[in-house]
Structure 1
Amino acid sequence: MIFNSCNTLQAVVGMFAHSTNTSKRTIEFLSHAGLSIAPTSINRMVGRLSSEARLLFKDELSGLVSAIGLDNLEVRFNGEQPTPENPGQLVSMTSAAFFPLHSGTTKEDLRVCEEPWARSPFNPHRSLPPVVFSHDRLMSMVLKISFPPEDEMSMHSLFAWHVCDILLNKDLETIPQDLKDFFRKEKLGLPAQQGWIPHTKTTQKPLHTMNISLSTSHGSAMALENILKQGGAIREQRKAHILLMHADLGAGKKYLGLQESRGIKDDAWDRLQFIIFLPGWFHIRIALADAMH
């Protein structure tokens, strides 16, 4: 028999207790006191919610306009009576989510799986020259979008604006406050803008946490296989359409290693040819900071 109604307070308290890893005995005590639902009811609720959540993204990747993001997740399971010899167990798992791409992105925009493979250094039959990342190539790209130093759009002018902004907003006793206010209002203004990226709200869809560690190449491969299965990825579609993947630099290195080791495979799916690794902005800033020291 299925009941369509329940005690809201008891259900909320029970789920909260479950989410905070409350012991079974405590939940049973709250249940007998009429403040929570029973542990068996909590387990049924979790199972039902998980089933409904699974339906939300079972066809996400077959739509071809979503990216994936994954990261390691460390959880410590403490014992009821932790001791120095047995403080608890630290488990490394993997969390992931789907990120629908910005509105306006079409399937055809991502139908470029063949070109990256044609330039890939892992392709033994490469038909196009590989993309070489070097300082000279970076500087040539910068020159294409650079402006003369006297132009307000030049890097010199923009850096000068940021220096003035720091001086006017920091609590520096050497500059009188009334002078700061005058320059901020009359002279500083806003930095020159060539273009701007509009803010868009991205609704991510969390996947089931995987009891898989990303510390090894084997674990990274298992995590990717699990994500593709949860999202309903279709093998034939991925021969033509790329899949953008966000992860930290360590995970990205392992996935590039997987692509290198599978470069001799005949099928795009087996080669993981469709995976395009994109490091997060946070990890890019860390790499830049390390390079400066």
Structure 2
Amino acid sequence: MGISISQTAIRRAIHSLSAETASTLREMGQTLLVGYAYDNFDINFPTLVPTIEKAGDPLTHLTSGALIHLEHGVVLEECSEELWQKSPLNPTLPETAAQPKHDLNSLHPEIDDPSGLTRRERWNAWKFQSDLYEYGPSLLAHHKNTCSTRSTHAGNISAVENLLSQGRVGPPPDSAKVAQYNRLQKLVSVAKYVVLFFGDLGTYERVQGVLQRRSIEGTPWRRHQFMVFVMGFFHLKMACADAIWRIFIEPKQGRQDSNSLMAYVTQPRPRKTGKIGSNPGFRRMHEVIRHMGIVLRLDAWRVEAKRRNSAWTSLELFAEAKPSKDLLDEMAQSLVENFVAGGDIDMYETRSRSADSRDAQHENILFLHQYFLLYEEISYAMNHGDIGRLEALFPPWISIFRAVGKHKYSAHMTKYLTDLHFVYPARLSRAVGYNSLVNPTETADGFRGVDWVEESMINLYTKHTFGGSGSNYTKARVIEESDQNLP
């Protein structure tokens, strides 16, 4: 016995679900305790039929959006006007000679530790041990449980207003149009409040363009005074991976050394060197950093073990000796102090020596360890929702981005951290900081940037799951079958 479902029944079910989703979005939006994430993306519709009036370009530009509940005790507070009085875009404020300077390095001061190591060095020591127990000889695996961590601006204005309208959020109604508003569903005014918008660097630039163009308007709504942008940390992580590629792989002269990163990559991936050397993409570069970093840290353990006992010529022999946890802790601290650039190693002094007394290959390995561990630490902080650690990593990455020519990221990170700690009111700062990462899977290491949710859980499904197939794969079908916010 089979069950047959008609096409009409399917379409009615889709329309019913869309109506329920619209109602849910409205209820969420009118609480004003949500953030809006949106992103522009492209879909290629090969079934598009060209006409005389419209050229046959199958590439269609869409905007996807999502509403994110703000957690951690966020409440309504009328802070829009307070922010506007501090904004450099406010034309009524007196001109000042220069904006005040803030020391971002002092936001998370170091705390004295009995080991004498800094916060970053203690994390590096933990990472050395974690890799040894996870990927080293199985005889050391029992220590694992003891290793714990202490487009256009006008188009974007339209997209923002479209997202807000789906939540029935907008400007205060004109007194002459009260009767019209009473006939419609109530519209919640956002004039006195702020709304968080999440997105990548491109979205941020467009938001800034909107605010600059509207700053001379006479009302908070027309100035879009309510918009507070929260940077997307997933795209920040992608930028970190790209920065390491620019430092160690992009320069062709840097590939000639037998101990260069490219030389290491050729061993497990001999057929992928062309792709990695030209345009590896985030996922491939992420794996290169992780895998090569693990290998380098395990090799550092081997060198350190042999230095302490000439009989320990391999990690297997070292593990068979059953080293104590105290010895492993001591060795991890030694690895951090002697195998990672920074800390006790003065690289400026080391590189100023004569060529005869330098070991340039060893110096390059020290830098590889340093940058790989910085990437591992920022990944760890994002995945585990460690906001304090993440913010403490901003200053070194700002310097790295400036060095490799990613000036927009360095400027954006500086502004974000300055606004968060020196401009926003205390409650808004807390709301932004604690909601900049979300945990869709509710696992210990399941935190992700809101822009990751937009890319991986919305855009991906919109492009490849919803929208029909064959001749039925059209823009109208994508919008109809997707329960996301598409204008």
Q: TM-score range by the shorter chain?
A: 0.5 to 0.7
> Structure 1 residue 158 and structure 2 residue 94: aligned?
no
- Residue deviations 1:171-228 (CA, integer Å, cap 9, x gap): 4xxxx542x336545xx52111xxxxxxxxxxxxxxxxxxxxxx22121111111111
Which has more strand, going by share of residues? 1
Give SS of 1:142's match.
coil
Q: What amino acid maps onto 1:116 in structure 2?
A: L
Alignment map for 1:1-293 (pairs within 5 Å):
35-38=4-7, 40-79=8-47, 89-102=58-71, 104-108=73-77, 111-126=78-93, 137-143=103-109, 146-148=110-112, 150=115, 154-171=119-136, 176-178=137-139, 180-181=140-141, 183-184=143-144, 188-192=146-150, 215-236=151-172, 237-289=189-241, 290=243, 291=401, 293=404
Extract structure 1 runs of 4+ deviating beyond 6 A.
Answer: 127-131
Contact 1:245 1:277 in 2 (8 A): yes
Contact 1:61 1:231 in 2 (8 A): yes
Which has more helix, going by share of residues? 2
Aligned length: 222
Q: What amino acid maps onto 1:154 in structure 2?
A: R
Q: What amino acid maps onto 1:121 in structure 2?
A: P
Q: What amino acid maps onto 1:148 in structure 2?
A: D
Q: Judging changes above 3 Å, is the alpha-carbon distance between structure 1 residues 286 and 44 closer, same or farther for their aligned structure 2 residues?
A: same
Relative to the length of structure 2, the TM-score reads: 0.41
Identical positions, percent: 25
Q: How many angstroms apart in 2 are the aligned matches of 1:91 and 1:245?
A: 24
Q: Judging changes above 3 Å, is the alpha-carbon distance between structure 1 residues 159 and 36 closer, same or farther for their aligned structure 2 residues?
A: same
Give how far 1:115 is off.
Answer: 2.4
Structure 1: runs of 5 or more not aligned: 1-8, 11-34, 193-214
Partner of 2:356: none
Structure 2: runs of 5 or more not aligned: 50-54, 173-188, 244-400, 405-487
Contact 2:32 2:76 in 1 (8 A): yes
Q: How many angstroms apart in 2 are the aligned matches of 1:218 and 1:115?
A: 27
Contact 1:78 1:87 in 2 (8 A): no
Q: What amino acid maps onto 1:228 in structure 2?
A: L
- Residue deviations 1:34-81 (CA, integer Å, cap 9, x gap): x4413x444443333322321222243221111111122332323299
Give how far 1:158 is off.
Answer: 2.0
